Chains A and B, each alone.
Chain A
Amino acid sequence: MSARVSSSGVAFGRRTAAAVLASPVLTLLVFFAGPLIYLTWVSFTRADIVGDGSFTFDNYAEVLGEPIYRSIFLDTIVITVTAMVILFVVAFPIASFLAFRAGKWEIPMLLALVLTDELNPLIRLYAWQIVMNKEGVLNRFLEAIGLIDEPLTILFTKTAVVVVLATGSLAFVVIPIYAALKTVNRTLIEAARDLGAGWVTILREVLLPLAATGFIAAIIIVFVPMLSDFASPAVVGGREGYMIASLIEEEFNARGDWGVGSALSFVVLAISAVMVWVSIKISKVGRL
């Protein structure tokens, strides 16, 4: 790479480029790679407090072997997957509407979608608390229309966490699917109709396979943050809607067991990685 001329006309060389690149690379090394390596070391270290130093698999054995940890992992996965399924079922019609039917409302609706996401997550969480409370808006409403006699217990359940997670990432799921659907040529839908396909067939044979990339992108974008969400279970989950991130936090802060906390973190990382890998794998199969 020889000297380049920047738009201002000043020539700069390899050293300048290296200097410019150095700060982000250093930031990543110090604040991302560094802690990660440190946690890896901690997760293989026998200690209740940091600093002992002898190598061990005990932390992983405990995390994978203890029934209580396993049941929390299972709950976390059930909550996350349920929330994702609901999210996709809600998001797909919205995305198709935006891509094919919205017409002049397309851009305003997209903006509205993005705006809802701009709402501070904590404010959103406490709003849900007010809505789902025993004396909350939802129960009042259901009682008023005569659907229920007794107020429902929604807050501090798994359901509450599922609802909050499912609604929290709507924009992140709708937009990739919308973008993928947008690239599907509309005449393909017409061709399918012309060849005798009803709406269900068009969805199964044409739209879903062609929008697969959007689904995969959406899964990758929302699955990991959902799986490791900490605030939602803390605010609306209570004892029943306890998730793995809360457990990790507890191991580090309350119990001071950095070894187990780190091991838990790496198991979550592994689950995320497998999920992403499977998603990409499926999307390739779907394209053949």
Chain B
Amino acid sequence: MSTVGERDRAEAGGARGQVTPALELDRVTKRFDDVVAVDDVSLAVDRGEFFSLLGPSGCGKTTTLRMLAGFEEPSEGRLLLDGVEATQIPPFKRPTNLVFQNYALFPHMSVYRNVAFGPRRAKLPKPEIDRRVREALHTVQMDALADRMPAQLSGGQQQRVGLARALVNDPLVLLLDEPLGALDLKLRKEMQIELKRIQREVGISFVYVTHDQEEAMTMSDRIAVMSHGRVEQLGTPREIYFHPTTRFVADFIGTANLLPATLVLAGERPQVRIGEVLADAGSIGSLPGREAVEGDAVSLMVRPETLRVMRERPEDGVALPVEVSEVIFQGTGIRLDLQGPGDAPIVALVPADAMDWRPGDHAHVQWDPDRAHVVVEPAS
């Protein structure tokens, strides 16, 4: 399974570097008075790439996006658009367009006039404006509602118009600030697929801000996971899911079991000790400027869906003795809350037709060592 990681890394690094990135942040810091909102962030977004800034509220993702749009000026560092320095360019002259969380449609203008707002500012000839507006409305499947007022549209429809209003300008980079945040879950899922389709169709780079890790995973080519103004990890969804570099990333992306452990063997095939048990792992994360050494306190990360839960201790391989504390039927599967050694909580997802577990049952959990990952703890 270690080949998965290698392939992900190749995807992330391979094609990059040859052509000028659509957008580049070079050591950008943003301070508001004494508060550092964005701390020394560097990243590059390729042409046609779907790039997400993911993190909890207050992590600096929105501030980063607002700097890209030109609404905030970096305190330090540079922003390059298509290889050209753009740090000082005001929003109305930037080749970027923004899709807002609350849609921000002009309430006194029809759908058509909203979408035509940008092209009209660019002083395009009338027939050209009309052609572009119709095309953009077609892309978001709103052709039929061009004459409606925003107040007559549902939230999902309004956001389609918001998208068309930005896309119609054919920006170098489209910036999206939690555009689906105000929609209900079902519609959000539909729109995620739709957004991905539109992005592939128009081939424009998307920078997508969200706090919803599932949303980021569904749509993104690459994700930058942010926390406290810094990029914690930058990589493909697979990389981030299976090989999180930090405990924060492991915890934030999906559900992670982080078992407290001691590093016994560092290197390609790391080994850890959990209580009395020695366990192998498929990979180990690294922190910048900090190489884990034997004897370090680390966490062994195993995803709930990779755990096997058995009544009897298996003949071979590593298994942890656990006690079932909660059994939750979830339709697609059963979620088992388990108590591991030292009362460490462990979550396992097992098929719905698996055996009948009850709270209080004793069991053993086992996992594929290749799908276990060692997370290095930052020095405290």
Contacts and interface: CB of A to CB of B under 8 A. Distances in A.
A192 interface: yes
A195 B117 contact: yes
B104 A185 contact: yes
Interface string A185-221: 1011011111111100100011001100000000000
A185 B98 CA distance: 16
Interface string A162-197: 000000000000000000000001011011111111
Given A191-B98, A201-B121, A196 B106 contact: no
B325 interface: no
Secondary structure at chain A's binding surface: helix, strand, loop or mixed?
Answer: helix
B97 A194 contact: yes
Interface in B93-108: 93, 96-98, 100, 102, 104-108
A192 B117 contact: yes
A194 B105 CA distance: 12
Nearest to B110: A288
Contact of B107 (A197, A198, A210): A210
A104 interface: no
A191 B92 contact: no
Given A195-B169, A196-B121, A190 B104 contact: yes
A188 B93 CA distance: 17
B165 interface: yes
Size band of the interface chain A makes with B: 10 to 19
Nearest to B71: A190
B209 interface: no
A191 B104 contact: yes
B91 interface: yes
A287 interface: yes
B118 interface: yes
Nearest to A189: B104
A188 B102 CA distance: 10
A206 B169 contact: no
Contacts of A209: 108
A191 B121 contact: no
B69 interface: yes
Interface string A251-288: 00000000000000000000000000000000000110
B118 A195 contact: yes
B98 A194 contact: yes
A192 B104 CA distance: 9
B329 to A, nearest CB: 43
Q: How large is the interface on B (under 10, 10 to 19, 20 to 34, 35 or more residues)?
A: 20 to 34
B106 A188 contact: yes
Contacts of B97: 194-195
Nearest to B165: A195
Interface string B124-152: 00000000000000000000000000000
A210 B121 contact: no
Nearest to A201: B121
Contacts of B107: 188, 210
B121 A195 contact: yes
Contacts of A187: 100, 102, 104
B122 interface: yes
5 contacts: A191-B105, A197-B92, A201-B121, A210-B107, A287-B108
Interface in B143-169: 165-166, 169
B89 to A, nearest CB: 12
Nearest to A288: B108
Among B69, B105, B107: residue with most chain A CB under 10 A: B107
B143 to A, nearest CB: 21
Nearest to A185: B104
A196, A198, A287, most chain B CB atoms within 10 A: A196
Interface string B37-64: 0000000000000000000000000000
Which of B69, B70, B71, B118 has most chain A Cβ within 10 Å? B118
Contacts of B70: 194
Nearest to A206: B106
B168 to A, nearest CB: 9
Q: Which 10 A-B pairs have the closest CB atoms?
A: A196-B121, A195-B118, A191-B104, A187-B104, A193-B91, A194-B98, A196-B92, A209-B108, A193-B92, A195-B117
Contact of A210 (B100, B108, B169): B108
A38 B90 CA distance: 65
Nearest to B116: A195
Which of B70, B98, B104, B166 has its CB near the most chain A CB atoms (within 10 A)?
B104
A258 B121 CA distance: 60
Contact of B92 (A185, A194, A205): A194
